[in-house]
């Protein structure tokens, strides 16, 4: 793919997506959003891409927020359109992907960067990573799902505090709050992310897809979550992978799943 703000690398089924604007601390602008949308479309369509990691270029920043220079020209309609486009084309597309997408947060994850990490299915952080939603300092609020996902991940009280104060937290506190799953030295961040995804992509793909979908339903507190689980549990019994999983267990061998 010919992209100006995104680097991609596919290795053993794992697509690494790197936001590549280190001179701007990888800030999200219109081009980044459009190119992330292009990459995600490709990720959805190509079966050889079994999982993805999103990270940032350089040692300082994952994504240090939105490109504020683009805000000055916006009015109410323009702001709403910006948020809607980003949520539809990128953030919701990540959250609802049928294949795992995880964030490897290598530095500052602020504003839209924190929201990008939270849209991923789970997060790893380097020891120097920092997280925050500082939009109130600009007279704004999070616009890419931050009010919803931060509350889901760390609870109402702490989410309120972080968004009202605009404060940053470090990786250790993010781990304590449940915002991230692992904290590693910087040099171990991508190897750890790849190792986790190699474990996941050798499980049954259809089952992984349902875990993502049903966990997202649970996160929003939908009333039909248990029924959706019953329905999905039943559907999976008609798959070749479920037959293979049970057969392999009884034969005491590793299953070979094909996503069918």
> How far is it, in rounded angstroms, from Cα 158 to Cα 85?
28
For residue 59, give the 3-state DSSP assignment: coil
Neighbours of 204 (CB within 10 A): 21
35, 135, 173, 188: the active-site residue = 135
12, 73, 88, 115: the active-site residue = 115
Active site residue 251: no
As a whole number of Å, the CA-based R_g of the chain is 19
Q: Following DSSP, what letter does each residue of 116-129 receive, concatenated?
A: HHHHSSEEEEETT-
Angle at which helices 205-219 and 189-201 pack, to 10 degrees? Answer: 110
> How far is it, in rounded angstroms, from Cα 117 to Cα 104?
8
> How far is it, in rounded angstroms, from Cα 188 to Cα 190?
6
Active site residue 135: yes
| Residues designated as active site | 115, 135
């Amino acid at each position: 793919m010919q992209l100006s703000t995104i680097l991609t690398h596919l290795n053993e089924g794992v697509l690494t997506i790197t936001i590549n604007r280190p001179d701007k601390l990888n800030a999200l602008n219109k081009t980044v959003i459009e190119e992330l949308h292009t990459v995600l479309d490709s990720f959805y369509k190509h079966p050889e891409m079994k999982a993805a990691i999103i990270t940032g270029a350089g040692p300082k920043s994952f994504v240090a927020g939105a490109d504020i220079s683009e805000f000055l020209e916006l009015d109410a309609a323009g702001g709403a359109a910006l948020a809607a486009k980003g949520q539809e084309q990128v953030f919701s597309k990540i959250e609802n992907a049928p294949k795992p997408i995880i964030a490897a947060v290598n530095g500052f994850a602020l504003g839209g960067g924190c929201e990008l990490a939270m849209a991923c299915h789970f997060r790893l952080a380097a020891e120097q990573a920092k997280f925050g939603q500082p939009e109130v300092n600009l007279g704004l609020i999070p616009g890419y799902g931050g009010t919803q996902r931060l509350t889901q991940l760390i609870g109402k009280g702490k989410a309120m505090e972080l968004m009202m104060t605009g404060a940053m937290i470090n990786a250790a506190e993010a781990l304590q709050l449940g915002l991230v799953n692992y904290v590693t030295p910087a040099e171990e961040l991508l190897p750890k992310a790849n190792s986790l995804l190699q474990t996941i992509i050798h499980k049954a793909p259809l089952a992984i897809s349902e875990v993502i979908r049903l966990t997202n339903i649970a996160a929003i507190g939908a009333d039909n979550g248990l029924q959706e689980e019953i329905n999905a549990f039943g559907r999976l019994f008609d798959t070749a992978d479920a037959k293979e999983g049970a057969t392999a267990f009884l034969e005491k061998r590793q299953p070979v799943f094909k996503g069918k």
